[in-house]
Amino acid sequence: MVEKNLDFRSDTVTLPSPEMREAAYKAAVGDDVYGDDPTVNELEATACEVFGKEAALFVTSGTMGNAVAVLAHTQRGDEIILDEKSHIYVNEVGGLAVMGQLMARTIPGEKGYMKPEQIEAAIRRENIHYPPTSLLCLENTQNMHGGIALTPQQMKSNYDVAKEHGLGVHLDGARVFNASVALNIDVKELAQYTDTIQICLSKGLAAPVGSLVVGPEDVMKRARKYRKMLGGGMRQAGIIAAPGLIALTKMVDRLADDHKNAKILAEGVSKLGIKVMNDVQTNMVYVDFSSIGWTAEDWNKACSDLGWKSRGYGTGTRLVTHYGIEEEDIRDFLEGIAKKI
């Protein structure tokens, strides 16, 4: 029985499944800094198989995963290229500047896709006045562009430009499984066009905590040392790795339900006169409720009255479907909102 979780704020609010809770209780553990935790080792080995990469690293969060990967790819004073709305640039507390002393060169992507010619133009040529460009960062799905899934062809076009100029490529793949499910492809088809990938286990995959970083052995060796530097060296981490293993192996296919529910939600609110701002491909629906004359306060109160958590701000909000929200819940919500308009 799926525990209800009527919360549109994010897919980070997912509650662990009963199987995850049991796995955490029974997990075999050891000291992960020494490499002795068998459950962490199994999780990392499984990630390598799933993504077709040489090595993997279990970290506490997606932000830490992106940080250690970016640091492992770069040197102080380097410049990295990323979309201007990317999570690494907007939502990770300036870590690339604070920890890596890195310059950010941003590109206005189109629905999260940076065109090859944009990347080409952004790469610094050798010049005594310029910082060296060393890394291209992608995001798939792209959160602030509406959960859009980049295709393998789009990723390849970016990867090819980066490699032509000797750049590393890192993918913020916090929701990369949402992309693979939406595109109906194996995640390896996306993974092949990036060197390192950060994968969040605690969003749609519903683990209580943790992310993975996968990539080449040498890069991951550096990332592991940066994890320790940032305070992420864990001890008996099998307790949190065990739910992550279930997330990685058993919770991917059900993401299709979230995508279906998001489309039902988008169609429903649109019929009520609420403007949908994005192409709904995965589990995110961005809405503008000013189209029905509502403020954020009106929206938040209506949701609260119906037993839902939401975070309206300005004239709109992001609604995210996830584990714990069923189709019947979406339909009940739409019926309730209709009575309040």
- CA 68, CA 66: separation in Å to the nearest integer? 6
The domain locations on the chain are: 18-250, 254-340
Instruction: For the chain of 341 residues, list the mean pLDDT of each consecutive stretch of 10.
Output: 91 97 98 97 98 98 98 98 97 95 97 97 96 98 96 98 98 98 98 98 98 98 98 97 98 98 98 97 98 97 97 96 98 97 91
What is the value of pTM for the model shown?
Answer: 0.97
Q: Is the separation of the CB atoms in 320 and 302 below 8 Å?
A: no
Residues 24, 326, 256, 259, Cα dihedral to 10°: -120
Residue 216 pLDDT:
98
Of 1, 339, 50, 12, the closest CA to residue 201 belongs to: 12
Exposed, middle or buried: residue 272 (CB in 10 Å: 0-12, 13-18, 19+)?
A: middle
Residue 333 pLDDT:
98
Residue 2 pLDDT:
81
- CA 241, CA 246: separation in Å to the nearest integer? 9
What architecture is domain 18-250?
A: 3-Layer(aba) Sandwich (3.40)
Superfamily designation of domain 254-340: Aspartate Aminotransferase, domain 1 (3.90.1150.10)
